């Protein structure tokens, strides 16, 4: 953009949102140049200058959003909607520069109709603050992504988010009743409720990652806060046995809030593994390192630079795994669910570890993200890679991804977000290399291997982190000509192609 056109854009924006709510200062442009995609972090460590947005604007309400979209249409300025930038796929990177539109000033609760089981809340509302606001009133959304502390309602909807209790409350798409959207043509629209039939516009905007329009508010389902919780940890003989418990529970129509099965390495890391001990030696070092403990980091870097050895050592871990369950609701339901889960667990020979693991999980449900800093600080990297598939393929997919990505990174996983038909596998990749550029190569290789393997296995290449830039390469193969549907929607809703260009499917061929 020429200086003159930047000035014109900024003038126009200032006229809409007020001078205090537009910025082109270097600190703001740097802060908005990335989200929490670890690849961007590695770029930063490698000293690669980020691609900066031209400007950032903070609209106050839907009308201002609509005016900004109209201005950007007129000036052909790309718009990147921005929630809290907690996305981990590069969804907010301004790859075509342009305007980053931060929605967080839209943070009002517009309507709470507890008797109708819904709340309408603006897109920029922070998740944790919303959940506390609801809890104050004896309600909950039941949506607890690990990023709840640092993400927004609009980001959840746009990136098809899943919370830790999705097996009971559903993913975000199961919670949306209707949406207010400013589509790329500048129109303010409210999606129709889909109860009775007809075209499912909610399904179109959920997961659209800002490519079709700006979500300005969402009507979501709310539930009474659970009055009771039953916690349990089980040591299951192996992964397959744990998966069997999860599958049978969901197919029996149970709705546990949490069903979370850790693989042997993740079990070791979680530490509530009954009688298993890491002892000393490399696994202990690894555990300490991954937990961000211990000083230096040399041992951690060494292990993560030799992933085959590390993964090989993990193969020697005992097979038993930790399965954490939390059942909640009215006391009767929580109890009945817990009892039924216990019956399924006993059938596979699981050992009851009591309430401890479940309670520990709840108390530390968001803490794992703190480990990230320690690992990067010690010169290594970590990322997560989640996929989903049907029960018949889960174990094989797990093994295949471990095998393929395990050549490049240390791999561990847990299995969660269970449905009657299958579940998601949430892999953690950790790696190291002598320098930042080699780290990027290793990182890219691991992702490529993971995505190729998931695609080859007929699995979904993501479960809830979205596409952004990190999965874009595999969207075509994953969806075939369905991309034409996307292009048709895009042409209709965003005729000038200004909405988050380059994301999800990338530019039309």
Ligand X SMILES: Cc1cc2nc3c(=O)[nH]c(=O)nc-3n(C[C@H](O)[C@H](O)[C@H](O)COP(=O)(O)OP(=O)(O)OC[C@H]3O[C@@H](n4cnc5c(N)ncnc54)[C@H](O)[C@@H]3O)c2cc1C
Beta strands 99-102 and 55-57 are parallel
Tokens at 75, concatenated: 């000036």
Which residues in 453-492 contact ligand X (CB under 6 A)?
Answer: 464-466, 468
The helix-helix angle for 281-290 and 298-305 (nearest 10°) equals 100
Contact between 398 and another protein by CB under 8 A: the answer reads no
Beta bridge pairs of residue 236: 321
Contacts of 482 (CB under 8 A, 6+ apart): none
The one among 145, 226, 358, 450 contacting ligand X by CB under 6 A: 145
3-state secondary structure of 38: helix
Return the one option of ligand X, another protein, none that residue 200 interacts with (CB less than 5 to 8 A, by type): another protein
The one among 22, 99, 270, 462 contacting another protein by CB under 8 A: 462
Distance of CA 452 to the CA centre of its chain: 20
Which residues in 353-372 contact ligand X (CB under 6 A)?
Answer: 369
425/449 with CB nearer another protein: 425
3-state secondary structure of 234: strand
283/388 with CB nearer ligand X: 388
Return the one option of another protein, ligand X, none that residue 145 interacts with (CB less than 5 to 8 A, by type): ligand X
The one among 10, 119, 215, 269 contacting ligand X by CB under 6 A: 215
* Nearest residue to 494 via CA among 32, 122, 161, 80: 80
Contact between 397 and another protein by CB under 8 A: the answer reads no
3-state secondary structure of 249: helix
Binding window for another protein (CB under 8 A); candidates: 4-12, 144-152, 282-290, 354-362: 144-152
Contacts of 115 (CB under 8 A, 6+ apart): none
The one among 38, 53, 78, 87 contacting ligand X by CB under 6 A: 87
Report in angstroms how near the CB of residue 360 gets to another protein at its nearest: 15
Return the one option of ligand X, another protein, none that residue 154 interacts with (CB less than 5 to 8 A, by type): ligand X
Contact between 397 and ligand X by CB under 6 A: the answer reads no
Binding window for another protein (CB under 8 A); candidates: 69-77, 258-266, 298-306, 471-479: 471-479
- Residue 507's CB is within 10 A of a number of other CB atoms, namely 11
Which residues in 114-133 contact ligand X (CB under 6 A)?
Answer: 123
465 in the Ramachandran plot: left (φ > 0), alpha (ψ -120 to 50) or beta?
alpha
- Residue 373's CB is within 10 A of a number of other CB atoms, namely 11
193/308 with CB nearer another protein: 193
338/386 with CB nearer ligand X: 386
Q: Do the Cβ atoms of 118 and 221 come closer than 8 Å?
A: yes
Return the one option of ligand X, another protein, none that residue 391 interacts with (CB less than 5 to 8 A, by type): another protein
Tokens at 188, concatenated: 């303010």
Which residues in 6-65 contact ligand X (CB under 6 A)?
Answer: 35-36
Which residues in 58-117 contact another protein (CB under 8 A)?
Answer: 58, 84-86, 102, 104-105, 107, 113, 115-117
DSSP label at 51? P
Contacts of 41 (CB under 8 A, 6+ apart): 34, 376, 381
The one among 4, 20, 316, 363 contacting another protein by CB under 8 A: 20
Read off φ and ψ for residue 57, nearest 5 degrees: -130, 150
Which residues in 216-235 contact another protein (CB under 8 A)?
Answer: 221, 223-224
Contact between 500 and ligand X by CB under 6 A: the answer reads yes
Report CA-CA distances (Å) from 87 to 81, 145, 268, 492.
12, 12, 28, 26
Binding window for another protein (CB under 8 A); candidates: 257-265, 299-307, 314-322, 381-389: 381-389
The one among 14, 288, 369, 448 contacting another protein by CB under 8 A: 369
Rounded-to-integer distance, Cα 493 and Cα 416, Å: 35
Interaction pattern, residues 157-186, with ligand X; x per rule: CB under 6 A: -xx-xx------------------------
Strands in 79-82's sheet, in edge-to-edge order, are: 22-23, 55-57, 99-102, 79-82
Where does this chain bind ligand X (CB under 6 A)? 35-36, 80-88, 91-92, 103, 123, 145-147, 151-152, 154-156, 158-159, 161-162, 209-210, 214-215, 369, 464-466, 468, 500, 503
């Amino acid at each position: 953009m020429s200086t003159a056109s930047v000035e014109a854009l900024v003038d126009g924006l200032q006229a809409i949102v007020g001078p205090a709510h537009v910025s082109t200062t270097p600190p703001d442009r740097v802060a908005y140049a990335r989200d929490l995609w670890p690849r961007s972090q590695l770029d930063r460590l490698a000293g690669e200058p980020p691609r900066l947005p031209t400007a950032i604007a903070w609209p106050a309400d839907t009308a201002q959003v609509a005016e900004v979209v109209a201005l950007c249409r007129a000036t052909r300025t790309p718009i990147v909607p921005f929630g809290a930038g907690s996305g981990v796929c590069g969804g907010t990177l301004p790859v075509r520069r342009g305007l980053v539109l931060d929605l967080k000033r839209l943070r009002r609760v517009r309507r709470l109709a507890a008797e109708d089981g819904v709340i309408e809340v603006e897109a920029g509302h922070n998740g944790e603050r919303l959940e506390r606001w609801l809890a104050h009133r004896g309600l909950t959304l039941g949506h607890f992504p690990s990023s709840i502390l640092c993400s927004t309602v609009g980001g959840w909807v746009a990136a098809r988010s899943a919370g830790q209790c999705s097996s009971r409350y559903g993913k975000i798409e199961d919670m949306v009743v209707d949406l207010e959207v400013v589509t790329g043509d500048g129109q303010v629209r409210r999606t129709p409720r889909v109860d009775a039939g007809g075209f499912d516009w909610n399904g179109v905007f959920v997961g659209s990652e800002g490519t079709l329009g700006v979500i300005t508010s969402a009507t979501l389902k709310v539930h009474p806060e659970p009055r009771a919780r039953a916690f349990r940890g089980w040591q299951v003989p192996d992964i397959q046995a744990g998966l069997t418990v999860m599958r049978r529970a969901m197919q029996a129509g149970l709705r546990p809030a949490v069903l979370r099965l850790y693989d042997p390495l993740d079990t070791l890391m979680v530490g509530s593994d009954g009688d298993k001990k890491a002892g000393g030696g490399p696994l202990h070092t690894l555990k300490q390192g991954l937990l961000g403990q211990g000083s230096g980091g040399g041992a951690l870097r060494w292990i993560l630079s030799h992933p085959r050895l590390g993964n090989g050592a993990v193969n020697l871990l005992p097979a038993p795994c930790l399965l954490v369950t939390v059942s909640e609701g009215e006391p009767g339901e929580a109890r009945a669910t817990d009892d039924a889960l216990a019956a399924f667990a006993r059938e596979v020979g699981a050992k009851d570890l009591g309430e401890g693991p479940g309670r520990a999980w709840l108390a530390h449900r968001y803490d794992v993200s703190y480990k990230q800093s320690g690992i990067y600080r010690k010169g290594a990297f970590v990322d997560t890679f989640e996929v989903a598939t049907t029960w018949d393929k889960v174990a094989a997919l797990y093994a295949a991804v471990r095998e393929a990505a395990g050549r490049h990174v240390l791999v561990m996983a847990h299995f969660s977000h269970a449905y009657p038909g299958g579940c998601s596998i949430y892999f953690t990749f950790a790696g190291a290399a002598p320098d930042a550029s080699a780290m990027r190569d290793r990182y890219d290789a691991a992702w490529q291997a993971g995505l190729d393997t998931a695609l080859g296995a007929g699995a979904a290449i993501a479960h809830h982190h979205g596409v952004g830039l990190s999965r874009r390469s595999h969207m075509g193969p994953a969806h075939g000509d369905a991309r034409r549907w996307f292009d048709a929607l895009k042409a209709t809703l965003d005729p000038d192609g200004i909405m988050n260009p380059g994301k999800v499917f990338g530019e039309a061929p």
